[in-house]
Chain A
């Protein structure tokens, strides 16, 4: 009995330590975004919303936030579309060197963002394309496409083949089969890859930093804020970013969870 209690206690302590380790930094960040004072460090002087006021009044920050939203949704939509079409091609047609090609598609996942950014920078320079939010978007498509492809490809089972065949048998063209049958059937995994892409793009710094110039995304703007020293404002904007990611994750979980209950 005692042993049992002891092991339960240890398990609880372990779990607490685990979650503490993961979430304590975030909790501290959020806590000091409410700091009534100029420094986001202990002691906590009291509760204040002044820093949130400050960030929402900061036009540069708000512009960066909007830029981030645009880049995240647009690049994720493109990555999803390309990933879906690639997955459809590989799952439904016999292509030469299929295994190799699929490997090549997924390979960028293993390359560091820094290398991808440098590579893209060189290419863009050579082509004479100026840096802008577009180039950041291209970079984010490059990093998210392998992910979208992998998720969607893995959910394209053979059990869908007969359903597509039935659609074709009833007179649907290849495009209609894809649009009206395949894509709706794969919607859970398409949504999952879309939302994951959005969160990755939303948080991404290195590519956004190296491939942008005047219009920047939120992480880049935060970084330039940080250069002028610690400030509860950075905590506040960090909390907003965190909240947005959590909200997206919640949507993702809910949509996937709902789909799982009704296969």
Chain B
């Protein structure tokens, strides 16, 4: 089963601290949503409110168009997969997975059959008589998933479920989670602070910071066209370049930067049109700088002049360099160069960027 979720101007206060500040979000049925943000951003608070473990100070939560704001967890069509798995240590896997069905009054034989089915789904059918302490972290995680899915929830809430796993296992579990979600079709709301994890599994990512939603969109959209400086900075390495809108020129906006005057298309302004004179931050990902070989007069390419390499390191897929632009030596930019580029500290390389790759956002005004 699956259902849509509607979060309407939900706020939550803890004493004086605002953990959630008028958050609104529409989640479609069957969607895989990831709430992403640093610790303390309110993502876990939001998940707890969806699960019914916390009541919002104001606002409304609807699941399948029914008001669930004050319904206790046991009577919601949601189940939660906890960060520490929270398996019942004294029960075998079969009884763990069948617990929710038992609470719904299902007869033993039927319940066991269903539990076996869900253990099979996560590849642990053969271990059904084991106790949780006999399993590895990844296996426990799967049992927790099977247990949460066994009661056929409309919405599955996942609270950093992969946080305790090592990197390799985490990547593997991401793929499995995604595959299982596609199979069962349940709406998944997944909380994490790992942006790579978020990009790997999400249909849509919700970037949160300081109790607010900063950005919502598909992973590529969030990464390539972030709508806030925080979102841009959180989704991976990025360069921020100060700028100032000076004039409109047909469809383009002229922006004055320390690296020269750039003409940016209107699509670069993801957070809304710029007024003339407005202070801007230009967002440029390290991999969007073109290497010396690619810059030669391609259309839409903006030259940023030459830059001197101050340090470089080989990263496998690319070389990561710090460079100081010749026209503004006090700046330091991070640039990804091709694997094969012959680089040495002190060498000058030409820098260029495709205009379409740049995102321009209003600069944060100094308080």
A235 to B104, CA, bound (A): 59
Given contacts A170-B100, A171-B100, A171-B103, contact A165 B53 (CB under 8 A): yes
Q: Write 21 A-B pairs (CB below 8 A) sorted by A numbering.
A: A162-B84, A163-B86, A163-B87, A165-B73, A165-B80, A165-B82, A166-B82, A166-B147, A168-B73, A169-B53, A169-B78, A169-B79, A170-B74, A170-B79, A170-B100, A170-B103, A170-B147, A170-B148, A171-B75, A172-B74, A184-B88
B297 adjacent to chain A (CB < 8 Å): no
Contacts of B86 in A (CB 8 A): 162-163, 165-166
A171 to B152, CA, bound (A): 12
User: B228 to chain A: closest CB distance in Å?
Assistant: 33
Chain B, interface size category, equals 20 to 34
Instruction: Give B residues with C-beta under 8 Å from A.
Output: 51-53, 72-75, 78-80, 82-84, 86-90, 99-100, 103-104, 131, 133, 147-148, 151
Given contacts A162-B84, A162-B86, A185-B90, contact A169 B74 (CB under 8 A): yes
Are A159 and B84 touching (Cβ within 8 A)? yes
Contacts of A169 in B (CB 8 A): 51-53, 73-74, 78-80
A26 to B53, CA, bound (A): 57
Are A187 and B103 touching (Cβ within 8 A)? no
**Out of A159, A166, A172, A184, which one reaches B90, CB within 8 Å?**
A184
Are B74 and A168 touching (Cβ within 8 A)? yes
Which 9 A-B pairs rank lowest in CB-CB distance, beginning with the nearest? A170-B100, A171-B103, A166-B86, A162-B86, A184-B90, A169-B73, A163-B86, A171-B74, A172-B103
A140-195 residues with Cβ-Cβ distance < 8 A to B are 159, 162-163, 165-173, 176, 180-181, 184-185, 187
Contacts of A159 in B (CB 8 A): 84
Contact with B along A36-78 (1 / 0, CB 8 A): 0000000000000000000000000000000000000000000
A263 adjacent to chain B (CB < 8 Å): yes
User: A167 to chain B: closest CB distance in Å?
Assistant: 7
Which partner residue on chain B sits nearest A181 by CB separation? B88
A126 adjacent to chain B (CB < 8 Å): no
A228 adjacent to chain B (CB < 8 Å): no
Which partner residue on chain B sits nearest A174 by CB separation? B74
User: B34 to chain A: closest CB distance in Å?
Assistant: 20
Contacts of A172 in B (CB 8 A): 74, 99, 103
Q: Considering only CB atoms and an 8 Å cut-off, how many residues of chain A contact the other chain? A: 20
A163 to B103, CA, bound (A): 15
**Out of A165, A170, A185, which one reaches B99, CB within 8 Å?**
A170
Contacts of B100 in A (CB 8 A): 170-171
**Out of A168, A171, A181, which one reaches B104, CB within 8 Å?**
A171
User: A156 to chain B: closest CB distance in Å?
Assistant: 14
User: B91 to chain A: closest CB distance in Å?
Assistant: 8
A176 to B105, CA, bound (A): 12
A262 adjacent to chain B (CB < 8 Å): yes
A177 to B204, CA, bound (A): 35
Are A166 and B104 touching (Cβ within 8 A)? no
Which partner residue on chain B sits nearest A159 by CB separation? B84
A169 to B85, CA, bound (A): 13
A93 to B204, CA, bound (A): 38
User: B71 to chain A: closest CB distance in Å?
Assistant: 12
Are A176 and B103 touching (Cβ within 8 A)? yes
Contacts of B51 in A (CB 8 A): 169
Contacts of A168 in B (CB 8 A): 72-74
Contacts of B131 in A (CB 8 A): 262
Are B82 and A167 touching (Cβ within 8 A)? no
User: B78 to chain A: closest CB distance in Å?
Assistant: 8
Contacts of A163 in B (CB 8 A): 86-89
Interface centre among B51, B52, B74, B82 (most CB of A within 10 A): B74
Contact with B along A226-263 (1 / 0, CB 8 A): 00000000000000000000000000000000000011
A110 to B73, CA, bound (A): 43
List 8 extra interface pairs beyond A170-B74, A171-B75, CB under 8 A. Answer: A162-B83, A167-B88, A169-B51, A169-B52, A172-B74, A185-B88, A263-B89, A263-B133
Which partner residue on chain B sits nearest A164 by CB separation? B86
A174 to B22, CA, bound (A): 32
User: A186 to chain B: closest CB distance in Å?
Assistant: 10
Contacts of B80 in A (CB 8 A): 165-166, 169
